[in-house]
Homo-oligomer: A and B are copies of this chain.
Amino acid sequence: MKIVVLKFGGTSVGSIGRVKNVAKIIIRFLKKRYKVIVVSSAMAGETNKLVKLTKQISNNFISSEYDQVVASGEQVSCSLIAGKLNDQGYLSRSWLGWQIPIFTQGKYSHSRIVSINKKNIIKFLRAGGVPIIAGFQGVNSENRITTIGRGGSDATAIMLAKFFKAEKCIIYTDVDGVYTTDPRVVPRAKKIEKISYEEMLEMASLGAKVMQPHSIQDARLNRIDIEVRSSFKNVSGSLITKRKNVSTKKNIIRGVSFSKNDSKLTLVGVKDRPGVAAAIFEPLFRNSINVDMVVQNISSNEKETDLTFTIKNDDLIKTEKLIKKNKKIKFNNIIIDEKVSKVSIVGVGMITTPGVTYRMFNALAKKNINILVISTSEIKISVLVDRKNLKKAVDVLHKEFKLDY
């Protein structure tokens, strides 16, 4: 069987008109003789509405009932799609997590799919039916509804693609693919035809609207190719695939990503002793503050060092408070710059291509953009710059690494 898994996000089923459009997309695949497995999210806004109801009951709403409430959103949308297909003369039915069943383990709201019973779905596909499967949900060993914590409906689609050995897994969403950078910043940004899982993960800031990092990671671990495309216009999207499928000859760098709202903190004259970095970051970690770039300057004074790190602007007030009341550390001064941005170039090609770092720094220097902090990974180089330089930096790097054409 030539199986394709099509996943439709909340905005793709966000209105009756859009549900009807989803049916049209499915029928296109049926006409190409694909066996189609559909995964649907809840209609846009529904899940938030349901979550709000539980919060109004209690801020500690019991998670088993929470899962049952929020799972009702997908229950509705997948029936609407199946209903539309039946109306058009196609055999189709909805399947909820417990009906298949999609077995999950782990805590409520944070469950993970451990197995999928294929029997009934295979039988239905053989009979020419289109199963419309509720995303984001499963059933546990106690016969109760669970929801998947990480990746939601995307994760359901990826697991179905894996278990049913699908030829394709297409994630339909409201953007038409992954771009070399944000087109609002660089209008010349181009859609990326193919990108590796690893690059996609590193381009989180650009990709967040496309797919959750956890789902990309799931796809990577299971070697499932994912096509991301728009349900609103019939144009090809971006393929997220294995590294070896991604041609790196033409473009060493695949994209320029950035985060706008960062803050830089420098602790000047930290009394340097073993474990001091842990002492600084532990309270931040315990308060769910995500520390991004970290640089420890070489100290001129052997007993003292300067420590610089970045966080999201939203966490600044909390972070400052935690640092100042931290009795385990001593430092002379704290310097805060809340107007910085991070710009990154991403590409698996940089591993085998020397000089990428130099080209990046040189391009920025030519535009008089000062680099505040640098951090590198195998396939990404990030620099921190003044926020006023952000647009200029993204623009020059996009040009330097030939992403314009």
Contact = CB atoms under 8 A, between A and B. Distances in A.
Interface of A: 16, 19-20, 50, 53-54, 56-58, 60-62, 64-66, 68-69, 71-72, 75-76, 79-80, 82-84, 86-87, 93-94, 96, 98-99, 143-145
Given A68-B75, A69-B80, A76-B50, A19 B57 contact: yes
Copies in the complex: 2
Contact of A66 (B54, B72, B83): B83
B62 A16 contact: no
A19 to B, nearest CB: 7
A197 B317 CA distance: 67
A84 B72 contact: no
Contacts of A80: 53-54, 57, 65, 69
For the complex of A and B, the 4 pairs showing the least CB-CB separation, nearest first, are A58-B87, A65-B79, A72-B72, A16-B56
B99 A83 contact: no
Contact of A87 (B57, B87, B98, B99): B57
A69 B79 contact: yes
Contacts of A16: 53, 56-57
Given A16-B53, A19-B57, A69-B80, A62 B75 contact: no
A162 B176 CA distance: 57
Nearest to A15: B56
A62 B76 contact: no
A69 B79 CA distance: 6
Contacts of A71: 75
Contacts of A96: 68, 145
A31 to B, nearest CB: 21
Given A50-B76, A86-B65, A57 B98 contact: no
A143 B99 CA distance: 7
Contact of A79 (B60, B68, B98, B143): B68
A65 B83 contact: yes
A84 B57 contact: yes
A87 B62 contact: yes
A61 B138 CA distance: 26
A91 to B, nearest CB: 10
A57 B20 contact: yes
Given A19-B57, A75-B69, A62 B83 contact: yes
Nearest to A144: B99
A138 to B, nearest CB: 14
A278 to B, nearest CB: 37
Given A69-B79, A96-B145, 4 more contacts: A20-B57, A53-B80, A68-B79, A68-B96
A179 B145 CA distance: 43
Given A57-B16, A144-B99, A72 B76 contact: yes
